[in-house]
Structure 1
Amino acid sequence: MSALSPPVDITTEALRVLHVEDDPDLAALTATYLEREDDRFEVATATRATEGLDRLAEANFDCIVSDYDMPGATGVEFLEAVREEYPDLPFILYTGKGSEEVASEAISAGVTDYLQKEAGTSQYTVLAHRISNVVAQYRSRRAVEETEQKLSQLAEKTDDILFMFTGDWSELLFLNSTFEDIWGIPVERVEENPEAFLEHIHPEDRDHARRSMKRLSAGHPDEIEYRVVPPDDDQRWVRGQSKPIFDDDGTVTRIVGFVRDISEQKERNRRFEAIFNNTYTFVGLLEPDGTLIEANDTALSFGGLDREDVVGKPLWETYWVQSNEETQRIVREGVEHARNGELFRDEIRVRGSDREAVIDFSIRPVTDEHGEVTLLIPEGRDITERKREENKRQQIIDRVTDAIVEVDADWTFTLVNEQAEELYDMDEEDLLGRDFWEVFHEARDTRFEEEYRRVMETREPTSFVEHFSQLDGWFDISAYPKENGGIEFYFVEVTEQRERQHELEQTNTVLSTLFETLPVGVLAEDPGRNVLAANERMFDLFDLPGSPEAVVGADCERLADQVSDTFVDSERFVRRIAELIANREPKSNEELALRDGRTFERDYRPIELPGGEGHLWVYKDITELKEREQALQRERDRLDEFAGVVSHDLRNPLSVAQGRLELAREACDSGHLDAIETALQRIDRITEDVLWLAREGRDIGSLDAVAVRDVIDGAWNIVADRTEHAELRYAGDEFSLVTIEADDDRLRQLFENLFSNAIEHGGGDVTVTVGAVDDGFYVEDDGPGIPEDRRHDVFAAGYSTGEAGTGFGLSIVKRVVEAHGWEIRVTDGTDGGARFEITGVEFTSE
C-alpha cells in the first residue's frame, strides 16, 4: 500500500502573481509594494489582456490581479478568457472603477475576489492579504483533490462498502465497487438515483434505514443493522456505521460511512442464542478476570435489564450483585477459584427488578487445548422458594427476631432468647433465675419501671419508645401480661431510626425556614396537581388573597386560570404550564410579561415525591434587572452610532490628507510639511482614542503571556521616535525575564499613553523610569508632576492641561488597567514628577 504524499507547506512556498495593468508605472509600483509586503511574492506584469494570456501560456502563476478598464479588452473579458483555460486559477479584479454593475459582471464571470483601488499605500497591504488568502485556499483544494484520488484507490481494496453522499442524500459522491458484490446492482444505478440502494433493503427494515438517514442529515452519527436482498441471491445481514460531516457554519454537507457484511456472524449468533437462552437458569459468560461478556435472557429479565446495562462490568459490580457486600465477596472468590481451573459453588442472594432471590451459584472454567483458562461460565438456579420454606421452619424455632425476655410475678428471669443475649451482651445462664431489677438497675425510677409495673398491676399490654441509658440506645418496647402472672417483653433497638428521624426533623426545619425567606415565589404541586406548599413571596408577587397555609390542597389548574389575566398573553401562560408538565423536563429562566409592565422569570422542575412525580415552580420579579439591561443596551447603541460617525466622517478625510502629504514630500521639501504631519498625527491620535473608548474600551482580547520588556521598548520607540533627548530608564533588571498574563495590544497601548503623557508634560528632554513594585510596576518622569487636587481628574475622558494633548490618553490607561482587573494610582515621582503605579499584576518567569 502506497503512502499518501505529505502536504505542501503553503506558508513558505513561493507565490507567483501576474498583475495586468495598462499603466506601466502603477503596475511597477504595485509589484514593488506587494513584494515588500511578503517576501514569498514574485510579481510579473502585463499591460493588456492579450499580453497577460501570453504570459499565462509561457509560465505557471498562482494568482492573477487585473485592472478593469484596459484597452482592447476589459478586466472581465480577460477573466472570461482565462476561465476557458484555467477554470480554478485565483483571479482578483483590482480596479478603480467600482460599481455594482462591474462587481455583478465579475461575479458572473467567476471572479475569485473583487477589490477597489484606494488612495494611499495601505491598500497594497490589503491586496497582499487577499492574494495570500485566495492562493492558500486554491492550493488547499488541489491538495484535497489529490488526497481524495488516492483514498479512492485504497477504497477499492477493502471488503467493506465505503460511501459518501451529500448531506441531504440527494447526490452520491463516492461508492466503491464492493457495493456491487453485496447489493448485486451496479454503482451507476445509485449515481443515477441516490435512493436506488433502498429498493434492495428488506421491506421490514426499509423504514428503519430511512430513519437512520434522517438522523444523519440532522447531524447525529448512527449505527444500524439491516437485511439486504440482492436481485438473484439470498438475503444478507449488514451493519452500517455512518457520521455527518459539517462545514464551518455547522451545516451537514456530507454523509460518510461504511457497510459490512455480517451474515455469517448473525448465523453463529442465532445458533448460540438458541442454546444460551433456552433455559430457566441464569447463565452468563465471563472473561477470566471476571468481566461479564454475555448474560442470557433469563438473567436479564429477572433484573429488568438490557444487555448494555451489565456487559463489560466485573460480575461483582453488576446490578444483581452490587448491593450486597457478602454476595460480592463470594462472587470474587468464585472467579478467583474458577480462573485457577477449579469448579466453584455456593449460595448467594441476588437482586431482581421486583424481588430478591437466593440462587445456587456456580462458576465453571473453560480451557483451551493447552489447558489455559479462556472463559468462565457462571450459572445460577433460583432456590428462593426452597430457602423460604427453610426459613419458615427456622422462624418457628426461633419464634421471632426481637429480643425477648420473660419474668414471673416476682420479677425473676424465666426466658431469654438468643437476640436478647446479643442485645444485653450476656449469656442466658447468667440471666435465668436473677432478679430483673438487679440486672437492669438503671431502669428504676424511669419510664421503664412505671410502664412495667402498670402492666403487672393492670394486666393490660403497653408499647412505647424510650432511651435506655444502661444499654446506650433507643428501644421500641412491647410488654404483655402472661397467664402465670408474669410479663413478656419484646425489645427492638431503634437508635439509628431515631437519629435519622432527628436529622430529618432538623433538615425540615432548615428547609422550611429557607422556603419562607427566599426572595422568590415558590409553589410545589403534588402528583394530582394540588398545592403541596407555597411561600409568602408567591402571594406577594401575584397579589393572591389568603395565606400559604390556606391554599394547601387547592387545585393548581384553577389557580393558574385565576392569575392568568395578570399576564399579557393569558392563554399562553396557562397553555405553557400544561406543556411543561406534559414534557416533564426542567426549564429555567422563562420570561413572562405582565399587563402592569413588570417582567417575571419562571423556573420549572419535576420533583420526586413518595406518591409519584410532583412539580416545583419558582417565580422571580426581574423588572428592575430588565430595565437596567435595556438602559445599558441603549447606551451601547449610542456609543456604536457615535463611533460610526467618527470613523466615517474623520477617518476618510484624514486618510486622504495623509496620502497627499506623502505625495507632497516626494514632490518638494518644505518646513510646513512637518507641521502638517504633526497636526495630522494629533488628529489621528484623537480619532483612535475616541474610537477605542467608544468601541473597544469596554473589554480586552485574549490574555497571553506577554514579555514585559519587549512591550515597554516597543511602546517607547513609537512614542519617542521624534524626541531626540527624551530618555527611558529601568530601575532594575526585573523585567528582563518576566511575563504578564495580558492582552498584548492593550498593554502596549497603556505604556504608549503613559510615555506620551510624560513627554507632553515633561518636554523633549524628559527622563522616564520604569520599575517594579511588590505586585505590579510603575512609570514615573522628572517633569512638573500633577498637583494632588487634580490627580483624580486626570483619568477623566477629555481632561488635558497640554495644548497638544487629546484628553483621552490617561482615560484609556485607566480603562485598560480596569479591564485586566488591576488598579492604578497617581503619586509623586522620585524627582518630583508624576508617578503612576499599577498593582494587582501577576508576573511569571519565562
Structure 2
Amino acid sequence: MPIRGGDELSVLYVDDDPDLRSLVATFLERRDDRLSVATATSAGAALDRLTADVDCIVSDYELPDTDGIEFLEAVRGEYPDLPFILFTAGGSEAVASDAISAGVTDYLRKGTGTEQYAALADRIVDAVEASRTRRQRRRHHTAIETAQEGISIVGADGRFQYVNDAYAGLYGYDPEELLGEHWELLYPDSEVEFVRSELVPAVEAEGYWHGRTTGRRADGTTFLEDHVVSTTENSELICTVRDVSDREARERKLTRLHAATRDLIEATTVEEIATLATDAADDILEFPLNGIHRYDEAVDGLVPISVSNSSRELLGEPPVLTDGLAWETFQRGEAKVYGDVREAEGVLNPDTPIRSEILLPLDEHGVFIASSTECDAFDDADVTFAKLLAANVTSALDRTAHARKLELLQERTQTLMNTSSVDATADVAVTAAREILGADLSTFHGFVERDGQQRLEPVATTDTVHEVFDSTPEYVRSETADPVTASVWEVFDDGEPAYVHDTNEYPEFVDETPARSAILHPIADYGVFVVTSTTPRAFSQTDAKLTDILASTLTTALERVDRESLLRDRTAELEAQNERLERFASIVSHDLRNPLQVAEGSLELAREIANDDDGYDGDNTADDHLDDARWALERMNGLIEELLTLARDGERIDDPEPVDLAALSETCWRSVATAEATLVTRVDRRIRADRSRLEQLLENLFRNAVEHGGDGVTVTVGDLEDEAGFYVEDDGPGIPDDDRARIFESGYSTSADGTGFGLSIVHEIVAAHDWEIAVTEGTGGGTRFEITGLTAAE
C-alpha cells in the first residue's frame, strides 16, 4: 500500500528504455509519496543534471554511453556519499562483485510483476535515511576535528581567552604567548582597520562571518588565511583560521596555466607548442629543469625539440632517446614519477645529477620530462599540475597533427585533380596514405580481366611494401583464395569498406600478412585502396574518415582520368579524320585531276581522229589515245581504292583475334604479284590482331619490296629477339636516309606508277592496332620495317 508523510526524497532514475523509465518512475511515486523521481536516458545526461539536491540515484547496468559501474565511479568522484542503487536485468555475480567494490549502496535484480517496484522504493528510502544519518555524524566529527586546529576564543575586550596549538603555530607563537594579548597583534595595520570596520560589525549584526584575511606571523611575514568568525551569547568571538597560502598559490598557478593553454591552442606548429610548454613549466609550475622530446619515426627515437635553458646548462645538449626511463614511458604510455632516479631500473646514467623526475607520455607525439637535483622534490600537487600541462600539450599536438593531416589531404586532393593517368593518380593516393595516415604498407590494386581471369593487380605501392614483401601482392579471384585475398575481393564486390584493428584478433589472418591493422576501401569499379600498417590499432576513427575522403577523391580522380582519356582519344580520332579528309581533298584536287585531264584529253583526241577521214593524228591512232584514257582511268581507280582503304584503316581495332603470323605471311605472299621474288619466314609467333587489316599490311609491305627491290629480291619475315614484334626486310637497294622520313606520307612515291599510299596504309593499320613501326637498313643492305608493341596470343 502507498506510504505517506515525511520529507520529500529526490530520486534520479537512469535507464535508456523510455517505456520502462516512465513505468518505474510512476510506480515509485505511487508507492511512497515522499519520492520525487526525475529520469535520464544516459550516464552523461544524468551527470549533467546531478546536483547536491539529489538524494539517491537508481541506474540500469547497461547504458548507451557506458555501463553502470563506470557511471557509479564517475558519481563517486563528485559525490562519494550519495546513495547509488544498481537496478538491472543484465547483471551477474561478476557485475555485483564489481559494483560492491566500486561502492554501490544496493544491488537489485529486475524481475517480473509490480512487487519489485515496492521493494525498490523501500530500498531507496532506507538508503537515503542511512546516508542522512551518516552525514549528520560526519558533521559532528568534522566540527570536533576543526576545533582541534586553528581555533581561538576572543573576549569582549578583544583579548585571547583561548588558543589551541594549531592556531598559535600558524602565527609562530606558543599558545601561552598569545593568551591575554589583543587580536591586533596578529594582523598588519592595514588589516586591523578592515577587521574593526567590516568584520566585527558583520559578526555583531549577523552572528557569523567567513572570508579571507591577511595574518602576520611573529617574524613579521604575512600569509593569507581563511577566517571563520562567529559570536556566542556572551559576546565572545570564536575564530577558526586556516593557512590558504598554498591553495592561493595553486589557484594562481591554475589561472596562469589556463592562460598558457589558450596560447597552446592558438599555436600552429609543433615547435611553437613545445616552446610554450617548456616556458610554462619553468615560469608557472616552477620546474626549471624540463623538456619535451618528440617521437621521430625516421630515427625511431625521441628527439628533443624544446629544452629549458637550465637543463642545457646542467646536462648539456640533450641526446636522442632510444631507451631508458623516458623511452619506456613513451612505449608504455604510462606516467612515471621517481623520487630518486638512481634507484630506478633502466636509468641511462647512474651518475646523473638528476634525482627526482616526472615522466609523462604525450600519446604518440612524445614525452614531457620535468626533473630536479633534489630527491622527492615533487609533491602530489606538482604531479597534478604537470599532468594537466601534459594533457593540454597533447591536445594541442593532436589538433596540430589533425590540421596538418587536413592540409596534406587538401594538397593531395588538388594534386589528384590534375593527374593525367591511372598510374600517376594511384601513386598520389598511396603516397597520401603514408603521409597523412602513417600507412607504411599501402597499395592501390586495379581491377583487370584478362583471358577469362579476374585480378586485382598492384598499380601503385608505398616503398615499404617492396621492403616487407618478397613480391607485391596480387589478388586473383578464386574459390580457394587465401583469407587476405578473399577479404579484398569481398570489399570490391560489396562496395563497402572494411576496418581491421588488429589482424592477430582474427585467426584466419595470423601468419598470412605482415600488416597488423588495415582499412580496405573499394574504389568503384576501378579496384581496392589498401591502407595498412605494421602497427596494431594504428588507425583512429578520424583516420577512417580521412581515408573515406581520400578514397572518394581517388574515385573521382580516376573517373576524371577516364573521361579525359576518352576525350583525348576522341579528339585524336577527329584530328586524324580531319587530316585524312585534308589528304583526300588534296588527292582529289590534284592526283585525281591529272589522270582525269589525261582521260578527257585522250578521249577528245580519239573522237577527233575518229571523225577524220585518214584516222591518224600524226603517229597516233584513235586506239592509242583510248589506251591512254584507259591507263588514266585505271590510275584513278587505283587511287580511289587506296583512298577508301586509308579511310577504313584510320579506325581503331576493337576486337583483335589470335593470328599465326607465319601462316598469314605465306597466304599474303600468294596474293601479291611477286615475279621472281622469294619469301623467307623466320617467325614463330601468334599475335592478337585484326586478320583482314594485318593481311593488308603484309601485302603492302611485300608489294613495296617487290616493286622497289628489283628482280629476284628476297623478302624475309622474322621475329624481333628483344621486343614483342616482327620485321619485314628485303635485300634490294634500300631507301636513302633522306627519304625515310617521308615514306609514310600519303601520296609520296619514288615510282612513276606508284600511288604513294601503300606505306601510308601500313602506317595507319599499325596505328589502329596501337603498335609502332620503324624503317631501318636491312641485314643485307636493303630495307627493313620493324613493327613493335604487339600482344602475344595465348
Q: What TM-score, normalized by structure 2, do the two folds share?
A: 0.30
Which has more radius of gyration?
2
